[in-house]
Structure formats: structure tokens, C-alpha cells
Amino acid sequence: MPKSRSQKREIVAGIADQFTRMKGAAFVSVSGFTMNHADALRTKAREQNVDIFISKKTLLVLAAKEAGVEGVVPDALEGSILTAVSYGDEVSAAKVLKDFLKDKEIGALVAGILENRLIGTADVKRVADLPTKEQLLGMLVRTLNATPTGFVNVLAGNLRGLVTVLGAVGAKKV
């Protein structure tokens, strides 16, 4: 049964609200997508603070325009479009979809939204390969910790050398 104009306005408003709150989004053209796939994808997405939904392309375009997202046009989105919207960090949506589609032949990444503008397939795949925010913070902490650790090791090396020399002198006198 077709949706009324008021129902479509509600859908557009809901999607626009998601687009205004998001950090990033990714779009997948799906075919052969079953309820089992949907349940598995939603489970993985919830763990990463990502929402998954399917809607008409025209409603997506209207919602993107309402939310101030640039470049979202129907020609950029081909086929049945599944949308993933991430609220935690910019890479989660693309990463969840790429990991989910890795061993399945049910769809392909077609586009994404980053910094309120549409990005192409190649860019979405590059974003999906980036580490998550938590991983980047861990890398930063390790890098910051490496400098003082190295400095302490250098200072300790002089003391180790002195202890070695004193031990050799003591062993020679005995």
C-alpha cells in the first residue's frame, strides 16, 4: 500500500534528523537481502552505535537536502539503497557495511556522507579501512608513551654501564 504525503513527510523528517546528528554515513546497493541478513547486520551495527535503514532514494535525497548534506542526488545512488548512519565516529558506518559485505554477494558500497557532503565509492572504501576512533586514541597513547620510555631506557643504560664496570673492577680485585 502506498504511503500518504504525511507519512512521507514524517519519514523525511526522521531521516533528516538522523543526518543532522550523524558523524558519517554509507550507502549500499543491495540485492538478495534477506531478513536473516538484516538481523545479523543490525546486531553488528548496534554494537558500533550505527543505525541501519532502507528507504526510497527520493526520500533520502529530500532528507539530505533538508539536513544540509551536499551532493546527494538520485543518480549517485543506484539500485535498492540500504543506509548506515554512525553517531560515534566517522568510520563506523562504512566499516560495519564493508565488514558485513566482505564474504557475501548481496550488495556493494556505492557512496557515503562525510563532513556533510557526498563521497564516492573509492572514498567510502578508504574510510572503511581507517582505524576507529578508539584505535587511533590507543595509537596516540602508545606514541606519547614511547618518548618517555625511550628516555628512561637511555638514562638507565648509563647506570647499567657503570654497574657493569664496577662489577668487573670488583671481580678483578678479588
- Collapse the DSSP code of 146 into the 3-class scheme (helix H, G, I; strand E, B; otherwise coil) and give the result: helix
pLDDT in tens, 58-99: 889 899 999 988 888 877 777 788 899 998 888 889 999 998
Domains held by the chain: number: 2
Residues 104 and 117 in one domain: yes
In terms of domains, do 21 and 51 share one?
yes
* Whether residue 122 sits in one domain with residue 160: no
- What is the maximum alpha-carbon separation in the chain? 100
Domain of 44? 5-130
Q: Are residues 96 and 158 in the same domain?
A: no
Domain match, 54 and 25 both: yes
What pTM does this model have? 0.75
Question: Could you tell me if 55 and 115 lie in one domain?
Answer: yes
In this structure, are 99 and 140 located in the same domain? no
Residues 20 and 105 in one domain: yes
- Residue 164 corresponds to which cell in the numbers above? 657493569
Side by side, the strands of the sheet bearing 107-114 are 50-54, 80-86, 24-30, 107-114, 117-119
The grid coordinates of residue 115 equal 563532513
> Are residue 103 and residue 141 in the same domain, yes or no?
no
Which triple of cell numbers denotes residue 90? 566517522
Q: Say how far residue 7 (Cα) sits from the centre of its chain.
A: 31
Q: How confident is the model at residue 38 (pLDDT cuts 50, 70, 90)?
A: confident
Whether 67 and 60 have beta carbons less than 8 Å apart is answered as no
- Write the pLDDT tens digit of every residue in 46-61: 988 899 998 888 889 8
Minimal CA–CA distance to 58: which of 115, 107, 11?
A: 11
pLDDT at 40 over 80: yes
For residues 75 and 90, state if they share a domain.
yes
Q: Are residues 92 and 77 in the same domain?
A: yes
> How far is residue 72 from each of residues 42, 58, 112, 138, 168, measured CA to CA in Å?
24, 10, 9, 34, 75
- How far apart (Å, rounded) are the C-alpha atoms in residues 162 and 136? 40
Per-residue pLDDT reduced to its tens digit, 123-160:
989 988 888 778 888 999 988 888 888 778 888 887 88
Whichever domain contains 85, its CATH number is: 3.30.70.1730
